[in-house]
Structure 1
Amino acid sequence: MSGISHQPFAPTVTELRAGGDRIRRHRHDEHQLVYVSTGVLAVSTAGGRWVASAERAVWLPAGTWHEHRFYGASAFHAVGFDVDSAPLADREPTVIAVSPLLRELLVACTDETLSAPEVRRIRAVLRDQLRRTRQEPIMLPAAEDPRLAEACAIVASDLATPHPLAALASRVGAGERTLSRLFRDEFGMTYPQWRTRLRVFEAMILLAGGTPVTETAHRCGWATTSSFIDTFQRTMGRTPGAYRA
């Protein structure tokens, strides 16, 4: 998969990937659901970034150009779906919650040792579960305005340093109110909300690579480890320590 820019069919596969591995920008003529039962997968498109983990999978509609990067040793599972029988109606990439049952179905569906009748039965249950699963708006949108894009890059390059909105606006040549409006208009969230989401994303990646919780909190800009644990647990549904384990 790594060196292919276009595939008529979205493959259904299981692959073991090392931290740092990449799958170059490509697209499929079919829908695909991507998931990692271990490790963390960052999925990038023209519209933003999504993160797949043991609790979340990313739905990629047919024709979506995307690329992958793996963090930590990862077990990668991809399931392709014909364009005429999609279990999800979304026309944009989205993150879905992965229940214990859905996890086992995704892993089993990509097991190459199963017979065709077994795979068909598993896929039937998988489709039912996907239609019932909840979606989670966990993504980092890509900025269109160059001032907003520059501001995002500044913050992302040094999460450990606070960047007040006024100072950030001055650096990118915009007024504070203008930059605040750009965050709301393009991302649908305030600057503090976006920065928190960015820090959680980066924390997921660091934890997947084995970085200790306290160091992760410091590198992602939290003043205390306890505040990091609280924010991460509210966002991800479990503590950083449990996530890292």
Structure 2
Amino acid sequence: MSRIRQQPEAPTVLRQLAGGERIDLHQHDNHQIVYAGAGVVSITTDRGTWVAPATRAIWVPAGTPHEHRAYGETALHLVGLADNPLGLTTPAVLTVHPLLRELIIAYTDDPADDSAARRRLRAVLLDQLRLSTEQTALRLPAARDGRLAAVCAILAADPADNRPLPALGSAVGASERTLSRLFRSEFAMTFPQWRTQLRLHHAVVLLAEGHPVTAVAHLCGWSTPSAFIDTYKEIFTTTPGRRVR
């Protein structure tokens, strides 16, 4: 693992990142909300990767070594918090309803402002954050078992690979039963559930990079664009072609 840069206080700031730009491995002594008002952001830890479009934010608990990556031109809003209103001790993707979105954007507009009005804004932001729900569909856990990691790597390289689990098992020297057990024990999900998460993860990234919906559906393994749109809408409550403003 790369050397971890210590940054005692998580900043509250707006950063403009180019597509593909990274923020190297670091950690904070306090908590952080990571929100892409435009584009898409991911955070990666030794436990996996979480990705969030503009309808989601990522919660990073204090003391978590992590790195960021932007997909597409990204307006990265970072909010440092001493409080932990959600009680979460691991990273999580959270829903961002329209009011919370505007609160995060407003709160990061002028971080140097220490007015009473801004303190009230922060209190409302925390209240609204407590109403957010965790979204597990945008989490890709890191595999510990080598056989499971090999299957994950095959499909990460080509999410459209439609081989069933027995065929993938043959490719990595593991039985279907063993791999099914590993998906449940390490990821707490079935193989089909994990593959859908992987495909959604790739789809969110490709959309941020400007690929058309039809191409994304094909590249990520959906049988038809309408099947992709239905899955996307079920998770994000919006269509993949719609952009949050």
Question: Contact 1:34/1:59 (CA < 8 Å) preserved in 2?
Answer: yes
Counterpart Cα distance in 2 of 1:56 and 1:9: 23
What is residue 209 of structure 1 aligned with on the other side? Answer: 209
Contact 2:6 2:26 in 1 (8 A): yes
> How far did 1:113 drift?
7.0
The secondary structure found in structure 2 opposite 1:240 is coil
Partner of residue 109, structure 2: 111
- Retained in 1: the 8 A contact 2:11–2:78? yes
Aligned to 1:190: 190
| Structure 2 equivalent of residue 160 of structure 1 | 160
> Match of 2:8?
8
Q: Which amino acid aligns with 2:128?
A: Q
Report the counterpart of residue 88 of structure 1 in structure 2.
86
Letter in 2 for 1:111: D
5+ unaligned residues in a row in structure 1: which ranges? none
CA contact (8 A) 1:9 1:28 kept: yes
Gap change, CA 1:147 and 1:244, over 3 Å in 2: farther
How many angstroms does 1:132 deviate by? 2.1
Tell me if structure 1 keeps the 8 A contact 2:54–2:244: no
Matched, 1:181 2:181: yes
Q: 1:14 to 1:244 in 2, by over 3 A?
A: closer
Q: Aligned residues: percent identity? A: 55
Over residues 141-167 of structure 1, what are the superposed CA-to-partner deviations in whole Å (9 max), with x where a residue is unaligned? 111111101110011111222121111
Residue-pair matches, total: 241
Amino acid at match of 1:116: D
- Corresponding residue to 2:98 among 100, 109, 118: 100
Runs of 4+ residues over 3 Å off in structure 1: none
Instruction: Tell me, in whole angstroms, the C-alpha distance in 2 between the residues paired with 1:175 and 1:63.
Output: 38
Give the letter for the 1:46 counterpart: D
SS in 1 for 2:130: helix
Query: What SS is found at the alignment partner of 1:202?
Result: helix
**Residue in 1 that maps onto 2:222:** 222
Q: Could you tell me which residue of structure 2 aligns to residue 134 of structure 1? A: 133
Aligned-pair Cα RMSD in Å: 1.7
Q: Which amino acid aligns with 2:54?
A: A
Task: Decide whether aligned partners of structure 1 residues 171 and 130 sit closer, same or farther in structure 2, where only a CA change above 3 A counts.
Answer: same
Partner of 2:65: 65
- Corresponding position of 1:199: 199
Q: Which amino acid aligns with 1:187?
A: F
Distance in 1 between residues matched to 2:49 and 2:79, nearest whole Å: 20
How far residue 206 of structure 1 moved from its aligned partner, in angstroms, is 0.4
What's the offset of the Cα at 1:53? Answer: 1.8
Structure 2 SS opposite 1:133: coil
Contact 2:23-2:69 at 8 Å conserved across structures: yes
3-state secondary structure, aligned to 2:59: strand
Contact 1:199 1:221 in 2 (8 A): yes
Give the match for residue 41 of structure 1: 41
2: CA distance between counterparts of 1:130 and 1:209?
28
Q: Does structure 2 retain, via aligned residues, the 8 Å contact 1:155–1:163?
A: no
Unaligned runs of 5+ in 2: none
TM-score by length of 1: 0.94
For 2:197 and 2:113, locate their aligned partners in 1 and report how far apart those are by CA, in whole Å. Answer: 42
- Counterpart AA for 1:135: E
Check conservation: 1:207, 1:244, Cα contact below 8 A.
no
Is the alpha carbon distance of 1:244 and 1:198 closer, same or farther for their aligned partners in structure 2, counting shifts above 3 Å?
farther
Shift of 1:130: 1.2
SS in 2 for 1:242: coil
CA distance in 1, matches of 2:244, 2:169: 35
Q: Secondary structure at the match of 2:156?
A: helix
